[in-house]
Amino acid sequence: MPEAAESASAPQETATGRVTLRKAVVVGGNRIPFARTGGAYTKSSNQDMLTAALDGLIARFGLQEERIGEVAAGAVLKHSRDFNLTREAVLGSALSPETPAYDLQQACATGLETVLGLANKIKLGQIDSAIAGGVDSASDAPIAVSEGLREILLDLNRAKSLPERLKVLSRLRPKDLAPDAPNTGEPRTGLSMGEHQALTTAQWKISREAQDELAFNSHHNLAAAYERGFFDDLVTPYRGLSRDSNLRPDTSMEKLATLNPVFGKSLGAEATMTAGNSTPLTDGASTVLLGTEEWADARGLPKLAVVVDGEAAAVDFVHGKDGLLMAPVFAVPRLLARNGLSFEDIDFFEVHEAFAGTVLSTLAAWEDEEFGRNRLGLDGALGKIDRAKLNVNGSSLAAGHPFAATGGRIVATLAKMLHENGPVDGRPARGLISICAAGGQGVVAILEAYSAPEGR
Amino acid sequence: MTDKYTQFVSQGIGKDLAKKLGLPQPAVLRRYKAGEPLAPGPVLLLGNGNASGADELAAALLGWGLDVRRNALPKEKLGAIIVVLDDVEHPDDLGGPVLTAAQSLRDLVPCARVVTISRTSASAASPAVAAGRQGVDGLLRSLAKELRAGATANGILLGGSAGTTSPSTLGALRFFLSGRSAFVDGQFLTVTTGAGQLPADADKPLNGKVAVVTGAARGIGAAIARTLYRDGARLVVVDIPAAGDHLAAVANEVHGTALQLDITAENAGKRIIDHAMERHGGLDIVIHNAGITRDRLLANMDESRWNSVIGVNIASQLRINEALLESKRFSKAPRIVSVASTSGIAGNRGQTNYAASKGGVIGMVRATAPLLAEGGGSINAVAPGFIETDMTARIPFATREVARRLNSLQQGGQPGDVAEAIAFLASDAAAGISGEVLRVCGQNLVGA
């Protein structure tokens, strides 16, 4: 391992003499199959799905009645009543009710951020075990009353007498009764995520064919992984579904080519983004079990990978300086530099496929000399990713993307891939995760296959 | 638990009505609950004078806290009658103890037990001895059909070096006396060696053992997992990945680990032992329960129905056993129990493939027993009859009602009844019993 990373992972003592930097090990994961919105999980709440994913994890690793250090999860589309979503899911699960939990929300990066936050607590010696997770339902999305009605209802509650109440009610207008449903539009631009990406896709001149090819590979890679049983210890069926319902194992370039564009239709350039090369709205939940080496050993649990480091970035998409989903373009070079790594040192790239255009725009930016010099502050391009190392077991285009659940899906999948791969040139296999998020944000992370220290 | 008809005719109007109309009156069976007495009343122990092993046995029974009688008291209700016939050398020897027992049959409480202990006819030295011993077989099976009110009759056969107080004789006796054998009726268990060990805690006979149960997501498999857990075992529950949600629920209930695995996979045996070793540090008990049905008359049978049933129900067990026995990490004295079926013994219309696979299980068990004998291991099969499961609930009403009543107990068994027999055979108390097939069928009246 390069020097920078080595010094970062060496144990250090605090003033009180306590060793505070330890390895955060990925033990394994569990998710429920992801379902297209309006499908198998239409009647399932976020709490139902998160509890199911937790219970599958508990069953896989025999954690019944176990007090876990902390559980963190979140949802992007969240009901106001779910203020304590994760804790409620823990209470409904087979874990010890003495397990604390908190909710976290960072749009589509929620799942990965829970992993990083909890891994940091483990590294710091605050906890020995943790479960990170995420869940989202676009089917069971919250619908709020309009702002007008909300103000009237609150005033009504404050009104003391009947005349006062009648006066408040007299303000009610028919338009106030229209509900306020959530959408994926950016509050500051009014544009949907797809429309934002369409701008970026056009800016980087990503072809329709390249996007369709990425979607095709995602479906075929995911289907092949299911076929060889790769997900047998990563997925637990739920509500009659045992594979992701968005998966189309028999899709072809010809079929993808027949789909009409759905985003960027107003652009002058030819519109390229279709339902085939964009992720659909999806319902699902995922969890990841983390722990120290000692905690895993004491329970005979596997040690698949270690969480090496993570980095967040954000871009100014509001003024059009960068595309909405391009933050990982900036986060990755910072993360690699801090760890003294380059693309050559990475064996698996997990770039979340919000849209095929997002992945390809990101890769194009990293390959661009001028962008590298002007925007990333490098001598030239960051580098080119070997496409044979990209999303080798499929990603969101095939599996679907229940916003907060995607991070957990990727971390558990990558950890197993790293573990199965074995060492590369005498060093542990290494993987890079890149996830873009609404609000112009992005979170990226490095995982490394677990290898026992000398003498263990 | 108990079916609606049985509930109806067990009390009040229903009871009177059934009696007047001569309808079957199935009893609500006595089933095992931790801490309950072994027998529901005093135990009458009968035998031919001093030559038999009855005296030694009486001492053991007293040690269990049973109220033992060597002679029946007038009008005293009895919980069980044990007839020791290990010294029978001629059919003439049967009459004495059997006719003595006959006088007490009307004093048996509901769900009482009759247990015979005799020697196997195969080991008889002369035709007369063999005739006497084999006579017990017909006698016992007929008596089982005469008993009412949930009472059962079962026999223990002593073969080889086994005696009346061998650990597995006592283990089998405890099993037959207790509520664990509620749906076992008219059956024999053969004890062949003096091996075995009675548990330190009778309510936790599997303490410290690691057990694998295949097909554990639902039905009989889930009941087996629950029963082994109750008896103290640590569990690995296995089922196909598509049944993973039910499997996870079972695993969480029994504080075990869930292994989503298709048992027909080439490396299934290795994956099972890897998982058990890594997570639980050992593997002592394997319960081959996973099975499927793909019913068709043989004339309409296709290759896929035939092959999938053979593949899941028997070929996978053979392959997994082979891998386990080759592995140095598997227990030296394992307990293996396979789920067979009465279809595999007596046959069943529309189930040629299933019966072939279950007959295969019985063959495998008999042939594997000698391979395990040296290390002190054992392998047995349990053959369920009509059991109330999701699978039998799908049988059309009339057919189901007939199938359910056509046994001496006039009712279907519960998944837990099969599980109890398996838990007993998986315990060290049953180490002297191997290569046996125990039917849990309430003594089916048709077929074997």
Which domain range does residue B216 map to?
210-440
Q: Judge if B168 and B234 occupy the same domain.
A: no
When pLDDT is averaged across residues B215-240 and rounded to a whole number, the result is 97
Q: Judge if B412 and B274 occupy the same domain.
A: yes
Antiparallel, parallel or unpaired: β A282-291 and A129-136? antiparallel
Query: How far is the alpha carbon of A62 from chain B, nearest alpha carbon, in Å?
Result: 5
Q: B267 CB near a chain A CB, below 8 Å?
A: no
Q: Judge if B168 and B225 occupy the same domain.
A: no
- Which residues, 6 or more positions from A378, have their beta carbon under 8 angstroms from its beta carbon? A333, A372
B252 with A61: Cβ contact below 8 A = no
Q: Judge if B257 and B182 occupy the same domain.
A: no
Q: How confident is the model at residue B440 (pLDDT cuts 50, 70, 90)?
A: very high
Q: How far apart are CA A304 and CA B412, in angstroms?
A: 48
What is the number of domains present in chain B?
2
CA distances from B107 to B28, B175, B426 (A): 19, 22, 34
Considering only CB atoms, B252 lies closest to which of A59, A237, A302, namely A59
Residue B384 resides in a domain:
yes
A146 three-state secondary structure: coil
Q: How far apart are CA A135 and CA A409, in angstroms?
A: 11
- Which residues, 6 or more positions from B126, have their beta carbon under 8 angstroms from its beta carbon? none
Antiparallel, parallel or unpaired: β B188-191 and B152-158? parallel
Q: How far apart are CA A64 and CA B237, in angstroms?
A: 14
Label residues A140-158 b or e (16+ Cβ within 10 Å = b).
Answer: bbbeeeeebbeebeeebee
- Mark which of B132, B161, B191 sits at the end of a domain: B191
- Which residues, 6 or more positions from A234, have their beta carbon under 8 angstroms from its beta carbon? A28, A29, A30, A31, A412, A413, A416
When pLDDT is averaged across residues B342-351 and rounded to a whole number, the result is 87
Q: What is the structure's pLDDT at B362?
A: 96
pTM of the model: 0.89
Tell me what percent of the residues of chain B surpass a pLDDT of 90: 65
Q: What is the structure's pLDDT at A223?
A: 97
When pLDDT is averaged across residues A15-32 and rounded to a whole number, the result is 83
| Structure confidence by residue, pLDDT tens digits, A282-323 | 999 999 999 999 999 999 999 999 999 999 999 999 998 999
| Structure confidence by residue, pLDDT tens digits, A363-395 | 999 999 999 999 999 999 999 999 999 999 999
- Mark which of B157, B191, B225 sits at the end of a domain: B191
Residue B409 resides in a domain:
yes
Q: How confident is the model at residue A15 (pLDDT cuts 50, 70, 90)?
A: low
Residue B9 resides in a domain:
no
Residue B446 resides in a domain:
no
CA distances from A283 to A353, B198, B246 (A): 16, 53, 20
Residue B15 resides in a domain:
no
Q: What is the structure's pLDDT at A11?
A: 59
More confidently predicted of B70 and B232? B232
pLDDT at B22 over 80: no
Q: What is the structure's pLDDT at A356?
A: 95
User: Which alpha helices (DSSP H) does B235-302 contain, by range?
Assistant: 244-253, 268-280
When pLDDT is averaged across residues A7-16 and rounded to a whole number, the result is 53
Run of H or E including B324: helix B316-326
Q: How confident is the model at residue A2 (pLDDT cuts 50, 70, 90)?
A: very low
Residue B196 resides in a domain:
no
- Which residues, 6 or more positions from B374, have their beta carbon under 8 angstroms from its beta carbon? none
Tell me what percent of the residues of chain A surpass a pLDDT of 70: 94
Q: How far apart are CA B245 and CA B137, in angstroms?
A: 46
Q: What is the structure's pLDDT at A3?
A: 40
Q: Judge if B174 and B272 occupy the same domain.
A: no
Q: Judge if B232 and B337 occupy the same domain.
A: yes
pLDDT at B235 over 80: yes
A302 with B278: Cβ contact below 8 A = yes
B255 with A65: Cβ contact below 8 A = yes
| Structure confidence by residue, pLDDT tens digits, A92-135 | 999 999 999 999 999 999 999 999 999 999 999 999 999 999 99
Query: How far is the alpha carbon of A49 from chain B, nearest alpha carbon, in Å?
Result: 12
Q: What is the structure's pLDDT at A9?
A: 46
Average pLDDT, chain A: 91
Q: What is the structure's pLDDT at B1?
A: 55
Q: B217 CB near a chain A CB, below 8 Å?
A: no
Q: Judge if B245 and B166 occupy the same domain.
A: no
Q: How far apart are CA A436 and CA A456, in angstroms?
A: 38
Q: A61 CB near a chain B CB, below 8 Å?
A: yes
| Structure confidence by residue, pLDDT tens digits, A49-98 | 999 999 999 999 999 999 999 999 999 988 888 899 999 999 999 999 99
User: C-alpha angle B178/B181/B187, rounded to 5°?
Assistant: 125
pLDDT at A335 over 60: yes
Q: Judge if B215 and B156 occupy the same domain.
A: no
Q: What is the structure's pLDDT at A12?
A: 56
Q: How far apart are CA B269 and CA B277, in angstroms?
A: 12
pLDDT at A166 over 90: no
Q: Judge if B187 and B214 occupy the same domain.
A: no
Active site residues of A: 108, 401, 436
Active site residues of B: 354
Considering only CB atoms, A237 lies closest to which of B242, B255, B280, namely B242
Q: What is the structure's pLDDT at A397?
A: 96
Residue B42 resides in a domain:
yes
Q: What is the structure's pLDDT at B186?
A: 93
| Structure confidence by residue, pLDDT tens digits, A167-207 | 888 888 888 777 776 666 788 888 888 889 999 999 999 99
- Mark which of B191, B222, B241 sits at the end of a domain: B191
When pLDDT is averaged across residues A348-373 and rounded to a whole number, the result is 96
Burial of B242 (0-12, 13-18, 19+ CB in 10 A): middle
Q: A60 CB near a chain B CB, below 8 Å?
A: yes
Q: Judge if B356 and B256 occupy the same domain.
A: yes
Residues 27-86 of B with CB under 8 A from A: none
Mean pLDDT lowest among B8-22, B38-52, B95-109, B133-147: B8-22
User: Which alpha helices (DSSP H) does B258-315 contain, by range?
Assistant: 268-280, 303-310
Q: What is the structure's pLDDT at B448?
A: 44
Residue B16 resides in a domain:
no
Query: How far is the alpha carbon of A93 from chain B, nearest alpha carbon, in Å?
Result: 9
Q: Judge if B359 and B411 occupy the same domain.
A: yes
Q: What is the structure's pLDDT at A18?
A: 56
Strand partners, B384: B440
Strand partners, B444: B407
Q: Judge if B296 and B331 occupy the same domain.
A: yes
Query: How far is the alpha carbon of B448 from chain A, nearest alpha carbon, in Å?
Result: 40
Q: A48 CB near a chain B CB, below 8 Å?
A: no
Q: How far apart are CA A164 and CA A379, in angstroms?
A: 70
Q: How far apart are CA B26 and CA B413, in angstroms?
A: 12
Average pLDDT, chain B: 90
A254 three-state secondary structure: helix
A236 with B242: Cβ contact below 8 A = no
Q: How confident is the model at residue A215 (pLDDT cuts 50, 70, 90)?
A: very high
CATH number at residue B111: 3.40.50.720
Q: What is the structure's pLDDT at A19?
A: 56
Q: How confident is the model at residue B52 (pLDDT cuts 50, 70, 90)?
A: low
